């Protein structure tokens, strides 16, 4: 056995310390032990590119994956690599042929399936592939693409790896000029993403720059940046939360005696009162982590979910939480070895990265939910084969049944324009609970259900005949998005109607940072409600958002979207600046007519409306003078006067030094 000399021990200790502290210290305080790496870090950072062609869409972790990426030397047990390789291709990063030989010997001993094992040769600094590997987007040409960013750690080889990956596997490559990290990002695949506050602080607190960049490069139109509730050095969202589906979010839970109990509960409440992309509040699932167990730091890989195990008495309960939240998925517990144990800030998710299927059969659908009164219920989905191959029409179906029945009925979805497929199901009897899911297949051999797990966790709605249906209140409100301090208190007025004339309360809810306050409206004239909103002086410089909630005596409730209020401090000696761009787009979602208000620097300004393929659908012109308020309406018709299909559309307002883009959802 080779004897370690004193100098060798010192070198080994230096390398270990540099690796450990590089994950703790900011760049300014980092002590470089390798001048060559310092030069590389300073001189070979990523070069930003133009953004992808629009529309661009960020891909979620729970979408179809073709492989999983790891790095050798490992931070995961070889037995876990063997488990992954049973059904999924594994790509292992190695520095050279010597590392590859060492890795292969270890994998052979562990029983790794070599048919599902491949290598990519590239220099890296760490095994945290989640953090330094690129994100993935589908660009406007329907190509799966690599989306790079400046990695927020002083690890130059890790930072350059996405370029090597894109080149090795011939992906379109795009790079953003902002600092990010993979452990602090989750997306639903529909334009919502979430991260902790370092998404802003590590970019000079320039929220507008970050939000605009995320929208341009990733199609993220709702970036939920949240103060990290854990209060740890790393501030990664995967240490406390995880999207399990478009409408499901897993949040850690701690006992009330825990130092961060209030902060974690505030985050759980935030998601529980926030609408997901499908138009209703998130289902918040809790997993108990009394000793900061990293149960949210898991990996979703197609229909398998891998959850870190720590030897805690709560391990089994964590697995049960996943099983209940994700019916139809197979849940695996994974214990690491004592040399690289799972940490509360660093576990299984951090050390792996799924690679989306670049030829995926993508199904996007806004599900029917709640009470539906259509005699024949319309179902629509955007189905896109990234392989470019044709979709089998006879295999593109909606399966449905009355809840409790064993047998599924099916009907074909019919192809329309812009990859939109439609069908009608029914008729049903009133008060029946209907379950359904979608299926499609293409000539590239892809076969997918939606939701991803299909019949095990279908969509649901209740059919209620129009004559028997109780209607929630209807709120008509022209939102106020900015106000000067000399105009306070702010008078808010809305119209609230109810077919049964049973309005019990109309409430303003407003939120300042983590605090929420409710104020009741006064009924001043039949269906008209008003209040004077007294905004406190200490709230003027805070970020304020608000919504209106109406409830009737049948306990049916309606709410407006959540609006942001910009408070402009008045100054009698200076002209208060005008805000330009969209000031109101309402209602959103809409199914009849959309009212669009804006203020432009140009005369005779127009609003252009595009579909998800970037095609111009409609142009709405206004004769308003420059600097004045303009108001146009869209009736959901295209340039030819034809009613467009349900789905997402983009409102674009452009004039000198201004480009404002908003997303709206048309529902029929």
- Report which DSSP code applies to 316: H
Which residues, in sequence order, are CB contacts of 606 under 8 Å at separation 6+?
Answer: 619, 620, 621, 622
Check if 17 is active-site: no
Residue entry with tokens 């004077």: 532
Residue among 92, 239, 350, 494 flagged as catalytic: 350
Output the CA torsion 209→138→89→156 (10° steps): -30
The C-alpha atoms of residue 661 and residue 607 are separated, in whole angstroms, by: 10
Alpha helices in 302-416 (DSSP H): 315-325
Q: How many CB atoms lie within 10 A of CB 280?
A: 12
Nearest alpha carbon to residue 288 among 266, 306, 313: 313
Three-class secondary structure of residue 439 per DSSP: strand
Adjacent-strand bridge partners of 253 = 288
Measured CA to CA in angstroms, residue 647 lies from 326, 342, 380, 438, 586 at distances of 27, 42, 9, 17, 16
Residue in this structure with the two tokens 């985050």, named with its chain if needed: 267
Helices (H) and strands (E) counted in the chain, each on its own, are 10, 44
Which run of H or of E encompasses 16?
Answer: helix 6-21
Residues 6+ apart with CB under 8 A from 460: 369, 403, 433, 434, 435, 436
CB 642 within 8 A of CB 606: no
Spatial contact of 336 and 297, defined as CB atoms under 8 Å apart:
no
Backbone angles phi, psi at 543, to 5 degrees: -85, 120
Angstrom distance (rounded) from CA 268 to CA 608: 38
- DSSP element (H, E) containing 207: helix 207-218
- Burial (CB < 10 A; 0-12, 13-18, 19+), residue 605, is buried
Determine the Cα–Cα distance for residues 153 and 386; give it in Å rounded to an integer. Answer: 33
> Beta strand pairing status for 222-226 and 192-196?
parallel
Query: Nearest Cα to 522, choosing from 533, 512, 511?
Result: 533
Question: CB-based contacts of 428: which residues, under 8 Å, 6+ apart?
Answer: 377, 402, 434, 463
Contact 351, 84 (CB under 8 A): no
What the block records as the tokens of 234 is 């790393």
538 phi-psi bin (left φ>0, alpha ψ -120 to 50, beta other) = alpha
The answer to whether 436 and 458 are in contact (CB under 8 A) is yes
- Measured CA to CA, the distance from residue 574 to residue 354 in angstroms comes to 54
Alpha carbons 142 and 386: distance in angstroms, whole number: 6
Give CA–CA dist 25/514, Å, rounded.
29
Q: How many CB atoms lie within 10 A of CB 468?
A: 9
How far apart, in Å, are the Cα atoms of 71 and each of 124, 262, 302, 460? 8, 37, 20, 41
Which residues, other chains included, contact 641 with Cβ-Cβ below 8 Å and sequence gap of 6+? none
> What positions carry a catalytic annotation?
350
């Amino acid at each position: 056995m080779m004897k370690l000399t004193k100098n060798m021990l010192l070198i080994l200790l230096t390398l270990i310390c540099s690796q450990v502290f590089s994950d703790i210290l900011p760049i300014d305080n980092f002590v470089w032990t390798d001048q060559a790496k310092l030069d590389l870090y300073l001189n070979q950072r990523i070069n930003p590119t133009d953004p992808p062609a629009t529309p661009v869409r960020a891909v979620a972790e729970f979408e179809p994956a073709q492989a999983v990426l790891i790095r050798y030397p490992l931070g995961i047990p070889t037995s876990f690599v063997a488990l992954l390789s049973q059904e999924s291709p594994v790509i292992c990063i190695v520095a050279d042929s010597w590392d590859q030989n060492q890795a292969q010997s270890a994998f052979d001993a562990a029983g790794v399936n070599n048919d599902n094992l491949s290598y990519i040769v590239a220099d890296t600094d760490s095994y945290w592939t989640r953090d330094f590997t690129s994100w993935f987007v589908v660009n406007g040409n329907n190509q799966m693409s690599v989306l790079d960013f400046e990695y927020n750690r002083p690890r130059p080889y890790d930072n350059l790896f996405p370029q090597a990956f894109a080149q090795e596997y011939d992906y379109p490559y795009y790079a953003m000029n902002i600092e990010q990290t993979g452990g602090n990002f989750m997306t639903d695949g529909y334009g919502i993403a979430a991260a902790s506050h370092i998404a802003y602080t590590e970019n000079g607190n320039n929220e507008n720059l970050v939000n605009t960049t995320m929208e341009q490069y990733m199609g993220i139109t709702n970036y939920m940046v949240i103060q990290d509730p854990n209060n740890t050095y790393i501030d990664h969202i995967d240490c406390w939360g995880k999207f399990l589906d478009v409408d499901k979010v897993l949040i850690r839970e701690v006992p009330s005696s825990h130092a961060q109990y209030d902060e974690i509960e505030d985050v759980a409440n935030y998601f529980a009162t926030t609408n997901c992309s499908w138009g209703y509040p998130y289902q918040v699932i809790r997993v108990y982590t009394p000793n900061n167990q990293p149960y949210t730091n898991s990996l979703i890989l197609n229909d398998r979910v891998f959850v870190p195990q720590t030897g805690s008495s709560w391990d089994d309960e964590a697995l049960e939480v996943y099983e209940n939240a994700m019916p139809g998925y197979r849940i695996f517990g994974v214990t690491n070895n004592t040399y690289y144990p799972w940490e509360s800030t660093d576990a299984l998710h951090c050390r792996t990265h799924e690679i989306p299927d670049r030829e995926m059969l993508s199904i996007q659908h806004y599900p029917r939910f709640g009470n539906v009164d259509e005699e024949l219920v319309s179902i629509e989905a955007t189905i896109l084969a990234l392989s470019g191959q044709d979709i089998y029409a006879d295999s593109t179906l909606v399966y449905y049944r009355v809840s409790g029945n064993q047998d599924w009925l099916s009907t074909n979805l019919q192809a329309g324009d812009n990859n939109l497929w439609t069908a009608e199901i029914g008729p049903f009897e009133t008060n029946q609970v209907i379950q359904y899911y979608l299926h499609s297949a293409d000539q590239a051999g892809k076969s997918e259900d939606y939701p991803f797990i299909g019949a095990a966790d279908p969509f649901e709605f209740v059919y209620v005949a129009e004559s028997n249906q109780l209607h929630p209140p209807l709120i008509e409100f022209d939102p106020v998005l900015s106000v000067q301090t000399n105009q306070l208190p702010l008078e808010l007025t809305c119209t609230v109607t109810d077919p049964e004339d049973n309005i019990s309360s109309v409430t303003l809810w407003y939120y300042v940072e983590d605090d929420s306050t409710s104020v009741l409206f006064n009924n001043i004239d039949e269906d008209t409600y008003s209040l004077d909103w007294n905004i406190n002086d200490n709230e003027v410089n805070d970020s304020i958002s608000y919504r209106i909630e109406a409830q009737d005596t049948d306990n049916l409730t309606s709410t407006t979207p959540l609006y942001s209020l910009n408070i402009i401090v008045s100054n009698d000696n200076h002209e208060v600046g005008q805000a330009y761009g969209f000031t109101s787009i309402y209602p959103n979602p809409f199914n009849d007519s959309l009212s669009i208000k804006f203020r432009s620097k140009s005369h005779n300004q127009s609003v252009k409306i595009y579909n998800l393929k970037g095609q111009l659908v409609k142009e709405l012109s206004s004769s308003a003078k420059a600097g004045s308020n303009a108001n146009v309406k869209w009736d959901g018709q295209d340039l030819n006067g034809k009613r467009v299909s349900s789905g997402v559309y983009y409102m674009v307002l452009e004039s000198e030094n201004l480009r404002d883009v908003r997303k709206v959802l048309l529902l029929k």
